Structure formats: structure tokens, C-alpha cells
Structure 1
């Protein structure tokens, strides 16, 4: 699972095939907690899929981080998943 971005204690990762699956999304972790965020591809809006033990303030910060780096994260997803 490559880390494609690190910022303010957050690590943004994309799992690789065959373990990974669509729809396009990233795993954002910090301090043992994680949020899975769907990327706004295939006609969808950015959305939170799952939250694991992450505080609401950190979820909001993670969403803002993903929004700020959408071109990089979208390109990274396409690089790893075609």
C-alpha cells in the first residue's frame, strides 16, 4: 500500500490490486485511526465511505487534505489501477 501523500501527521494511501477494489478511493490515517474517502470520479462527488476511530475534527481535516490534493490523488489512483 503506497503512501502517496503525507501532511500534518496524515498519511494518504492507495491499496494495490488484487486486494484493492473500486470505486476509486484513498485511505487517510493518523494516530492509528483511518477514514476512507471516495474520490470524485465516475460522476460522483467526494464522499466519506468509512471512519475507523477517527475524531470528527480529524475527519474534516482529512477531507480538506484530499480536496486540496485531488489532482495528485486522482492521478495516483489511475497510475495504480489503470
Structure 2
């Protein structure tokens, strides 16, 4: 699973054999969250959360939104379509 981005020490990954819609897994500190990217225009939306606080999730969502174009491009490179 390629790490696409590192935000605040958390890994943002896209699994090569994953399903649509376009989404990323955010992992670190014993927690994981999944955000739908809502490509190409966003904003990213939380799908699942395992252990992150609401404050952390808001911070991650902002970081994903700032990097949305690159994240959507990485998804397309691995999966062809959103």
C-alpha cells in the first residue's frame, strides 16, 4: 500500500486493489480513519473512524482538502477512475 502523503505524522494511503469511490486510509498512533475524497472537487468526507478524536479528524480533513488534487491524481494513477 503506497503512502501518498504524510499529515501530522499520519500516513495517508491508497490500497492498490481497493474499490470505488475514491478514498484514502489515514493511519497512525494506533488509529485509522477512511475518508471519501469526493474527487475531483471535494471536500473529503469521513466514512469510518477507529480511534481518532473529533479534533484530529477535523485537522486531517483540512489537510486532505488542501492536498485533494494530488490525492485524486494518485487514486486515478492506481485505479483509472474515481
TM-score by length of 2: 0.87
Shift of 1:45: 4.9
Q: C-alpha separation between the residues in 2 aligned to 1:59 and 1:44? A: 16
Q: Match of 1:80? A: 78
Q: In structure 2, which of residues 55, 66, 71 is the aligned counterpart of residue 57 of structure 1? A: 55
Indicate conservation of the 8 Å contact 2:32/2:51, yes or no.
yes
Q: Distance in 2 between matches of 1:71 and 1:41?
A: 8
Could you tell me which of 19, 23, 31 is aligned with 1:33?
31
Q: 1:5 to 1:45 in 2, by over 3 A?
A: closer
Given that residues 42 and 68 in structure 2 are in contact (C-alpha distance below 8 angstroms), is that contact kept between their aligned partners in structure 1? Answer: no
Q: How does 1:8-23 map to 2 (within 5 A)?
A: 8-17=8-17, 20-23=18-21
Aligned residues: 80
Q: Which residues of structure 2 form unaligned runs of 5+?
A: none
Q: TM-score scaled by structure 1?
A: 0.87
Q: Does the 8 A contact of 2:10 with 2:28 survive in 1?
A: yes
Q: Runs of 5+ in structure 1 lacking a partner?
A: none
List 4+ stretches of structure 1 deviating above 4 A: 42-45
